[in-house]
């Protein structure tokens, strides 16, 4: 090894790091000025569409060799730290710590935000509604298990809007204190995680009892006190509770994603690539399904998803949840929703926000 060459390269890296630090502080000073301007105009200090524009511009313009995903992760933390200069951001999420919702919240808001775990989805909504938190993060659907009905039900009475969506790849690790498969006498996890890993468990741990707990994070906490148990949980849960990896990525279907919603008080401005979510109920009569979709079809508006749920207050009547491409401020979207309202007993726009899928 040429020590002089290595020393010279390290000196170049140190000089580059000094320049990066200088630029970060220069950026922070501008962010502080932006914060002052927003307060004077009573504008939101967190704007998802602005963040998306930053990520899109930087990743598209990245010539390499620094990886594109690395650019997004680095600037996520730069933006998170910068927002904390404008105003300390408090984000409620469905806890406890090290759950996948916690991971999604960190992915969206970075480590400089104050992430506060809540015991239930209603508690997340209440924290934001009472303005004890600026935003909330809740799961809404999984690519394998389907919709999270409790989250959709909350929007019936809530005044909050969807301001962003998060897509998180779900990867389950088998964790234990020893990291040795031979020591495992029972497997602990959330029922959904156990179901998603059932094939691997039957093949590699046949006959080993499966124990349900309230969350994957709680499973990791339980296993941290039990030498004979293993948890199915996230890598973050293993790090938090000092567990070793027995086997990574044991989910039966590797194409496993969960979509999360960020809820807040105001609808973000248009980003140019948006999604609008709404809920509505219609009177049951011949041809009503055709008529409620026709306003969107006639205007060429793409519908991303439609779900139905029984109304809690009336038997055999249903509430529909619809995701469509476009922003409520787009004229065709606004006109289609207005036409839909003619057929509805109830109609509520849940929010327009930057689309990630």
260, 280, 296, 320: the active-site residue: 260
State the pLDDT at residue 157: 87
Contact 324, 302 (CB under 8 A): yes
Q: Over the stretch 38-90, which tens digit does the pLDDT of each residue have?
A: 676 666 667 777 888 888 888 888 988 998 888 888 988 888 888 777 777 89
CATH architecture of the domain with range 178-247: 3-Layer(aba) Sandwich (3.40)
Instruction: Determine which of 79-83, 209-213, 333-337 has the lowest per-residue pLDDT on average.
Output: 79-83
Closest to 326 in 3D by CA, of 259, 278, 266, 262: 278
Does the active-site annotation cover 321? no
Alpha-carbon dihedral 127, 128, 133, 134, rounded to 10 degrees: 170
pLDDT tier at 301 (50, 70, 90 boundaries)?
very high
Look up the CATH superfamily of 25-85. Chorismate mutase (1.20.59.10)
Model pTM?
0.80
State the pLDDT at residue 315: 58
Q: Does domain 267-354 have CATH number 3.30.70.260?
A: yes
- Give kind and range of the element (H or E) at residue 71: helix 68-86
151, 216, 258, 267: the active-site residue: 258
Does the active-site annotation cover 276? no
> Angle between the 288-297 and 331-341 helix axes, to the nearest 10 degrees?
160
The domain limits of the chain are 25-85, 88-170+257-263, 178-247, 267-354
Contact 117, 96 (CB under 8 A): yes
- Mean pLDDT (the chain) is 88
CATH architecture of the domain with range 88-170+257-263: 3-Layer(aba) Sandwich (3.40)
Q: Is the four-CA dihedral 283, 284, 287, 293 of positive or negative sign?
A: positive
């Amino acid at each position: 090894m040429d020590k002089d060459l290595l020393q010279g390269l390290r000196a170049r890296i140190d000089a580059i790091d000094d320049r990066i630090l200088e630029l970060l502080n220069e950026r922070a000073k501008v962010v502080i000025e932006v914060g002052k301007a927003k307060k004077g105009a009573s504008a939101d200090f967190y704007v998802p569409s602005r963040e998306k524009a930053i990520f899109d511009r930087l990743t598209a313009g990245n010539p390499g060799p620094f990886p594109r995903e690395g650019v997004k992760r680095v600037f996520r933390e730069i933006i998170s730290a910068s927002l904390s200069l404008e105003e300390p951001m408090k984000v409620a999420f469905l806890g406890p710590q090290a759950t996948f919702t916690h991971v999604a919240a960190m992915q969206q808001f970075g480590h400089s935000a104050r992430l506060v775990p809540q015991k239930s989805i209603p508690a997340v909504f209440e924290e934001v509604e009472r303005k004890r938190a600026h935003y909330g993060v809740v799961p809404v659907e999984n690519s394998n298990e389907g919709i999270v009905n409790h989250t959709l039900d909350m929007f019936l009475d809530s005044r909050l809007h969807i301001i962003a969506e998060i897509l998180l790849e779900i990867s389950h690790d088998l964790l234990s204190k020893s990291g040795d498969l031979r020591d495992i006498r029972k497997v602990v996890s959330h029922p959904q995680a156990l179901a998603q890993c059932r094939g691997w468990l039957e093949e590699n741990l046949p006959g080993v009892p499966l124990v349900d707990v309230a969350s994957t994070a709680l499973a990791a906490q339980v296993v941290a006190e039990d030498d004979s148990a293993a948890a199915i949980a996230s890598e973050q849960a293993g790090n938090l509770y000092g567990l070793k990896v027995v086997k990574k990525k044991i989910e039966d279907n590797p194409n496993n994603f969960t979509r999360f919603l960020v809820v807040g008080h105001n609808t973000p401005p248009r980003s140019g690539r948006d999604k609008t979510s709404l809920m509505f109920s219609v009177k049951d009569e011949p041809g009503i399904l055709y008529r409620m979709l026709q306003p969107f079809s006639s205007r060429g508006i793409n519908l991303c998803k439609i779900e139905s749920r029984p109304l809690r207050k009336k038997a055999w009547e249903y509430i529909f949840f619809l995701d469509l491409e476009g922003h409520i401020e787009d004229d065709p979207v606004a006109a289609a929703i207005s036409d839909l309202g003619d057929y509805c007993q109830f109609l509520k726009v849940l929010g327009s926000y930057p689309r990630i899928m």
